Structure 1
Amino acid sequence: MSRNAELRLDLKDTQWDYEYTDNDRNIARAIVYDEDGWFYFVRVQRDDDFGKATLIETSGGGVEAGEDLNSAIKRELKEELGVQVEVICKIGVVSDYYNRIHRHNINNYFLCKIQSFGEKNLTEDEIQRFHLSTLKLTYEQAVHEYKMRSNTRLGTLIANRELPVLQRAKEIMDMKIENGCLL
Structure 2
Amino acid sequence: MLNKEIYIELQDTQWEFEYFDHDRIIARAIVYDENGQFYFVRAERDDDFGKAILIETAGGGVEIGEDLLTAIQRELKEELGASVEVVCKIGVVSDYYNLIHRHNINNYFLCKVESFGEKNLTQDEMDSFHLSTLKLSYEEAVQEYENRTNTRLGTLVANRELPILHRAKEIIDAII
The residue type equivalent to 1:116 in the other structure is S
In structure 2, distance between residues paired with 1:132 and 1:157:
19
Instruction: Kindly report structure 1 stretches of 4+ aligned residues shifted beyond 6 Å.
Output: none
TM-score, normalisation: structure 1: 0.95
State the shift of 1:143 in Å.
0.1
1:166 aligned residue: 165
In structure 2, distance between residues paired with 1:111 and 1:4:
11
The residue type equivalent to 2:4 in the other structure is A
Q: How does 1:114-125 map to 2 (within 5 A)?
A: 114-125=113-124
- Equivalent position SS for 1:46: strand
The residue type equivalent to 1:167 in the other structure is H
State the shift of 1:5 in Å.
1.6
1:127 aligned residue: 126
- Is the Cα contact below 8 Å between 2:83 and 2:116 reproduced in 1? yes
The residue type equivalent to 1:17 in the other structure is E
State the shift of 1:36 in Å.
0.8
In structure 1, distance between residues paired with 2:10 and 2:153:
14
Q: How does 1:14-163 map to 2 (within 5 A)?
A: 14-163=13-162
In structure 1, distance between residues paired with 2:3 and 2:42:
30
The residue type equivalent to 1:99 in the other structure is N
Give the count of matched residue pairs.
176
Deviation per residue, 1:1-60 (Å, 9 max, x gap): x44321100000000000000000000000001111100000000000100000000000
The residue type equivalent to 1:126 in the other structure is E
In structure 1, distance between residues paired with 2:124 and 2:18:
27
TM-score, normalisation: structure 2: 0.99
The residue type equivalent to 1:58 in the other structure is T
Unaligned 5+ segments in structure 2 are: none
- Equivalent position SS for 1:136: strand
In structure 2, distance between residues paired with 1:37 and 1:120:
22
- Equivalent position SS for 1:44: strand
- Equivalent position SS for 1:67: coil
State the shift of 1:105 in Å.
0.1
